[in-house]
Amino acid sequence: MKKILSIGMIRGLLAQVVGMAIGFGLVTLLQTLTGQPLKAEPAWVVGGFISALSFLTGLGIFNDWFRMARGDEVPEPEEVEEPRGLRRYWGVSYDHKVIGVQYAFLSLFLLAMGGSFALIFRVELAQAGLQFLSFNLFNTLIGLHGMVLIASILMGISAISNYVIPLIIGARDMAFPRLNAFSFWVAVPGALLLVFSLALGGFETGWTGYPPLSVRGPMGVQMFFLGVWFVGWSSILGALNLITTILRMRSKGMGYFRMPILAWAVLSTSIIALTATQMIGLSFQLVLFERLLGMGFFDPAQGGNPILFQHLFWFYSHPAVYIFVLPGLGVVSELLPVFVRKPLFGYRWVAMSSFGIGLVGFLVWAHHMFAAGMEEYLRVPFMYSTLLVAVPTGVKFFSWTATIWQGRMRLQTPMLFLIGAIVIFLLGGITGPLLGTVSTDLHATDTYYVVGHFHATMFGGYVFPFFAALYYWYPKITGRRMSERLGKWHFWLLFIGFMVMSLGQMRIGLLGMRRRIADYDPALGFQLPNLIITLAGFAVALSVLLLFINMFRSARKGEPATGNLWESRSPEWQIPSPTPAHNFSGEVVVTGDPYDYGLEGAPGYVRLEADLTHSPQPAD
């Protein structure tokens, strides 16, 4: 028993159940004592809130901070004794590499879950008629599919950023290791609450949670709000940590324009996440209050306005799309030079384009609302700003193309995924302007066209680069390579499956298939396309299953990875795999440019020194 309780995750889960009971009991008791009619919703909301905090307390993430508050000595994060082996990953660790792997595991877990939700409702949609889902369950599943995968994406980019950023900027850890661990762990009870909404009747609003619908429906929506609220904290604090790390912990000689391009991408993403995420937490919190306390923020009958919610919501949720894709695009820019053996074309332009996208991304949110009924004249300026996003995005595409042009491309698995990322993100990109010009958007909005377009941007901007990163850095993490053969199967199945799925969705969308419908009129002729889309969806799922098998098998049986596997100039490949504790034994000095491939006799990007005196120390 004691041995089981020594695992942080288990302590946290038990504490979460207890916390839920305490919160629920407390509210019920108060209601009984004051003679109020017993209402379950407030009890669940308070229970849910306390349960998440209990999870974190039970886990022990607050212990050091409590000690500091009391004035006790706490060890430096680097010196904390942590359990050995796999058990390290099931509790609090301050090592950025462990946290990176934890993020990756949670991300893949949520990916499998969110993807499975999609498979369920895709089977329902494979033919006309309502077969086995109820309206409510269908709506809950589409909403959870969206939000669980958003959480998965946030965890995925945190995985890449956490594991890779300190390594490629030559740091020994993140700037705030304790905060780093907290950022990860706060997402775990958040994700649990999100899924718990299923048990409380689900919700029928989709991931957007628009009131007044979200004010009326089943109370599962409250758990959905709470879950997003906690996951949002993870994103905000993680961003804060990454910004500090990138600004303050770079190795000697690494001026801003000598940073790896991925650091630029993560920096711009983190700035967006730090400044925008509050908005979604806030907007959901307002609806939560409206339901719970009758505050009519969005109720026209009480002087509220439902469009206000949409403004608040999209003010985060549009930039969020760039939070999702910028690190992915950064991975593409980072890995392309390694695999085409050429310098990144126009490094400064690519770096600045990330900032350009981030900046313009803040000015376009209302393009989600062209048909929503906001002031009509507002639609025109938002059309201009929306199409403007094409300019920095174009710079990226053209620079990639110029990088690839005449490159001696090595078609290994990560490179295949980079090609997939470029082609599919291109598909997502070029199908966007049609949604940006108002009058065409009035036809295409709220249809499967948007579904196809959005999934193309997510797969091209996140999923494919994330998989490329997994294949590329997996040997760095485990010391073993993943199977190339399975990797290629994974790629082709995913690429073809996704293309069929996405193009099919766009096609039926333009012809008149609405989003988020549990059933459709067979007379519209969408039966066959929907069946094909469902089958393609299963191909995508199967490909991800291949990835899991590959990861699992290669961890023990994979070909050992020694030395600079991909012949990269980046610092992490100049040290052994798996990455040793505290990464670099001495100072990392930048002596050249990061992507000088193809230049005979070029100075290396970094020189690793054996002396320890100048290494940046993480602060907490």
Partner 1 sequence: MTGERKPRRVLIASANPLFGKGLMKLYGERWQQQAIQSRLASSMEETLAALDSWQPDLVIVDYDDRAIHREEFLSHFITGSRPMQVILVSLQESGAVVVYDRRTLTPAQANDWLNLPWQPEPSSNPPSRRTPKMKGNTRHLLIAGLLVIVSTAVLYFLLTSIGLLPEEASQQAATIDRLFNAHFFMISLLFSMIVVFLVYSIVVFRSKPGEKTEGAYIKGNNRLEILWTIIPLGTVIAFSFFGARNLAETRKAEPQALNIRVVAFQWGWSFEYSDFGVTSRELYLPVDRQALLSLTSRDVIHSFWVPEFRVKQDALPGENLVKQLRITPTRIGNYTVMCAELCGGAHAYMNAPVKVVSKADFDQWLGTQVSAVITDPVERGKKWAENTGCISCHSLDGKKLVGPTWKGLYGETVTLADGTTVVADETYLRTAILDPNAQITQGYPANVMPSNYSSLLTDDQINDLIEYIKSIH
Check binding of 619 to partner 1 (CB under 8 A): no
- Nearer Cβ to partner 1 (136/285): 136
Q: Are strands 606-608 and 588-590 parallel, antiparallel or unpaired?
A: antiparallel
- Among the listed residues 473, 596, 605, 616, the single contact to partner 1 using CB under 8 A: 596
Angle subtended at Cα 309 by Cα 305 and Cα 311, rounded to the nearest 5 degrees:
110
**Touching partner 1, residues 352-381 (CB under 8 A):** 371-373, 376, 379-380
DSSP-derived letter for residue 615 is P
Q: Which 240-279 residues touch partner 1, going by CB under 8 A?
A: 253
Site for partner 1 in 508-567 (CB under 8 A): 510-512, 514-521
Q: Are 326 and 265 in contact (CB under 8 A)?
A: yes
Q: How far is the CB of 265 from partner 1 (least distance, A)?
A: 18
User: What residues numbered 451-490 form the site for partner 1, per CB under 8 A?
Assistant: none
How far is the CA of 506 from the CAs of 141, 435, 446, 515, in angstroms?
A: 21, 12, 12, 11
3-state secondary structure of 588: strand
Separation of alpha carbons 136 and 535, rounded Å: 24
Q: How far is the CB of 340 from partner 1 (least distance, A)?
A: 6
Site for partner 1 in 422-451 (CB under 8 A): 422-423, 426-427, 429-431, 433-434, 436-440, 442-443, 445-447
SS3 447: strand
Q: Which of residues 394-413 bind partner 1 (CB under 8 A)?
A: 394-395, 397-399, 401-402, 404-411
Question: In which element (H, E) is residue 117 found?
Answer: helix 96-125
Q: How many residues interact with partner 1 (rule CB under 8 A)?
A: 99
- Residue 253 or 578: the one with the smaller Cβ distance to partner 1 is 253
- Backbone φ, ψ for residue 198 (5° rounding): -60, -40
User: With respect to partner 1, which residue has the nearer C-beta, 99 or 518?
Assistant: 518
Least distance in Å: CB of 40 to partner 1?
20
Which of positions 2-31 make contact with partner 1 (CB under 8 A)?
none
Distant-in-sequence, close-in-space partners of 188: CB < 8 Å, separation ≥ 6: 9, 12, 55, 106
Least distance between partner 1 and beta carbon 419 (Å): 7
Taking the complex as a whole, how short is the minimal distance between the CB of residue 17 and partner 1, in angstroms? 31
Considering the complex, what minimum distance in angstroms separates the CB of residue 541 from partner 1? 24
* Shortest Å, Cβ 484 to partner 1: 11
Q: Residues 305-324: x/- map of binding to partner 1 (CB under 8 A)?
A: xxx-----------------
Contact track, partner 1, 204-223, x by CB under 8 A:
xxx-x-x-xx--xx------
Q: Which is nearer to partner 1, 23 or 432 (CB)?
A: 432
Shortest gap between Cβ of 243 and partner 1 (angstroms)? 23
C-alpha span between 533 and 86 (Å, rounded): 39
DSSP string, 281-345: HHHHHHHHHHHHH---TT-GGGT--HHHHHHHHHHHHHHHHHHHHHHHHHHHHHHHHHHHTSPPT
Q: Position 174: which residue type?
A: M
Candidate segments 17-25, 107-115, 200-208, 242-250, binder of partner 1 by CB under 8 A: 200-208
Q: Residue from 53, 179, 388, 531 that binds partner 1 (CB under 8 A)?
A: 388
Element (H, E) at 606: strand 606-608
Site map (CB under 8 A) of partner 1, residues 136-175, x = contact: x--x------------------------------------
| 275 CB-contact burial (10 Å; exposed 0-12 / middle 13-18 / buried 19+) | middle
Shortest gap between Cβ of 614 and partner 1 (angstroms)? 12
Other beta carbons within 10 angstroms of residue 72's beta carbon come to 9
In angstroms, rounded to a whole number, what is the distance separating the alpha carbons of residues 87 and 516? 42
Which residue, 262 or 427, has its beta carbon nearer to partner 1? 427
In the complex with partner 1, which residue's Cβ is closer, 321 or 427?
427
Site for partner 1 in 49-78 (CB under 8 A): none
Interface pick for partner 1 out of 61, 383, 494, 547 (rule CB under 8 A): 383
Neighbours of 391 (CB within 10 A): 12
| Angle at 251 (CA atoms; ends 573, 269), nearest 5 degrees | 85
Among 135, 256, 548, 552, binds partner 1 (CB under 8 A): 135
Contact between 509 and 493 (Cβ < 8 Å)? no
**Hey, which residues does 608 pair with through a beta bridge?**
588
Q: How far is the CB of 78 from partner 1 (least distance, A)?
A: 27
Integer Cα distance of 32 and 28 in angstroms: 6
CB of 214 to partner 1, least distance (A): 9
Which CB, 515 or 582, lies closer to partner 1?
A: 515
Q: Which stretch binds partner 1 (CB under 8 A): 11-19, 109-117, 153-161, 388-396?
A: 388-396
Q: Draw the binding track, 328-357, toward partner 1 (x: CB under 8 A; -: no contact).
A: ------------xxxxxxxxxx--------
Phi, psi of 388 (to 5 degrees): -60, -30
Residues in the chain: 620
Residue 384 as a binder of partner 1 (CB under 8 A): the answer is yes
Of 464-472, 527-535, 545-553, 600-608, the segment contacting partner 1 by CB under 8 A is 600-608
Output the smallest distance, CB 139 to partner 1, in A. 7
Retrieve residue 347's tokens.
């490094």
CB 170 within 8 A of CB 604: no
Residue-by-residue DSSP string for 385-436: HHHHTHHHHHHHHHHHHHHHTT------HHHHHHHHHHHHHHHHHHTSHHHH
Between residues 572 and 596, which has the closer beta carbon with respect to partner 1? 596
How many of the other CB atoms lie within 10 Å of CB of 546?
19
Least distance from partner 1 to the Cβ atom of residue 448, Å: 11
Beta partners for 514? 447
Identity of the residue, 435 or 541, whose beta carbon is nearer to partner 1 in the bound complex: 435
